[in-house]
């Protein structure tokens, strides 16, 4: 609420809203409709009740009723349209996370990972992670210089996951015997795609933008 040039936060009114169905989770794959050859994904921003701990619900701004929002997966060459319906009580914009790069290129490809809008050499600056062939499908590699993991997916895609827990920022090591990240501070668990298996982490691990560069 604007007041004297300052914006005051106030709790979201969720009186009258139903609780989420048991088992409702964020970060799930979003279905699409086909319009000719175009894949049409629909996002609805809306206020909802959201469970953050057993027996504890809060009011939340959500995409499609969940926190975090759904995952949109497309294939290189797809025509895509994303329709955003805003049912929030105020204007909004969409903050996109993640860029998964499928690749089968061998050998002479280099992977760069970087955070946008930062200066080279500072946190999030561009980091050359190595050659694609160094990262075998189904493996997770820690790139210490960049403070992220490269998770090579079974389908050949790659994710660059920041190694900080989204709860309070502890470093999350990989439990190789379980194939999951376990936060040592308050026991949040994440999959090798960064998805939250159990909290209190409120959202998936952050995914850095990544770029594949071919070198001669
Ligand atoms: S910092 Fe990871 S669970 Fe709290």
For residue 129, the model assigns a pLDDT of 61
For residue 106, the model assigns a pLDDT of 34
Q: Is the CB of 197 under 6 A from ligand 1?
A: no
For residue 7, the model assigns a pLDDT of 41
For residue 210, the model assigns a pLDDT of 61
Q: How far is the CA of 89 from the centre of ligand 1 (A)?
A: 31
Closest ligand 1 atom to residue 184 Cα is 2
In this structure, which CATH number among 1.10.645.10, 2.102.10.10, 3.50.50.60, 2.60.40.60 belongs to the domain 109-214?
2.102.10.10
- Percent of the chain with pLDDT strictly greater than 90: 10
Each residue's pLDDT tens digit, 146-183: 788 888 888 777 788 888 898 888 889 999 888 999 99
* Least confident stretch, 5-14, 108-117, 119-128: 108-117
**How, if at all, do strands 79-86 and 38-53 pair?**
parallel
The answer on pLDDT for 32 being more than 70 is: yes
Q: Enter the tokens of residue 196.
A: 């939250």
Q: Is the CB of 200 under 6 A from ligand 1?
A: yes
- The pair phi, psi for residue 11, each rounded to 5°, is -60, 150
Higher-confidence position of 126 and 138: 138
For residue 95, the model assigns a pLDDT of 65
Q: What is the mean pLDDT of the chain?
A: 74
DSSP tag of 178: T
The answer on pLDDT for 131 being more than 90 is: no
CATH 2.60.40.420 intervals, the chain:
2-86
Q: Is the CB of 167 under 6 A from ligand 1?
A: yes
User: By alpha-carbon position, which residue is closest to atom 1 of ligand 1?
Assistant: 168
CATH 2.102.10.10 intervals, the chain:
109-214
Q: How far is the CA of 182 from the centre of ligand 1 (A)?
A: 9
Each residue's pLDDT tens digit, 34-63: 888 888 888 888 888 888 777 777 788 888
Asked: is 2-86 a CATH 2.60.40.420 domain? The reply is yes
Higher-confidence position of 147 and 200: 200
3-state secondary structure of 146: helix
Q: Got the DSSP string for 34-103?
A: EETTEEEEEEEEEEEEEEEETTEEEEEEEETTBSS--B----TT-EEEEEEEE-SSS-------------
- The pair phi, psi for residue 144, each rounded to 5°, is -60, -40
Instruction: Please state whether the predicted TM-score (pTM) of the whole model is above 0.75.
Output: no
Closest ligand 1 atom to residue 187 Cα is 3
């Amino acid at each position: 609420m604007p007041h004297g040039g300052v914006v005051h936060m106030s709790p979201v009114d969720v009186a009258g809203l139903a609780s989420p169905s048991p088992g409702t989770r964020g970060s799930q794959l979003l279905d699409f409709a086909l319009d000719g050859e175009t894949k049409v994904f629909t996002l609805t921003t809306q206020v909802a009740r959201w469970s953050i701990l057993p027996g504890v619900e809060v009011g939340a701004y959500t995409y499609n009723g969940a926190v975090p929002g759904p995952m949109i997966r497309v294939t290189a060459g797809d025509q895509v349209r994303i329709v955003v319906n805003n049912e929030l009580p105020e204007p909004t914009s969409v903050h996109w996370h993640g860029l998964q790069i499928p690749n089968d290129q061998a050998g002479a490809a280099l992977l760069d990972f970087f955070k946008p809008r930062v200066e080279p050499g500072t946190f999030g600056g561009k980091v050359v992670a190595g050659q694609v062939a160094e990262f075998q499908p189904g493996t997770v590699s820690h790139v210490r210089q960049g403070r992220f993991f490269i998770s090579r997916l079974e389908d050949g895609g790659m994710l660059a996951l920041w190694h900080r827990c989204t709860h309070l920022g502890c470093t999350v090591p990989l439990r190789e015997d379980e194939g999951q990240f376990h936060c040592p501070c308050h026991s949040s668990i994440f999959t090798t795609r960064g998805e939250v298996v159990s909290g209190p982490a409120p959202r998936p691990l952050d995914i850095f933008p990544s770029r594949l560069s071919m070198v001669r």
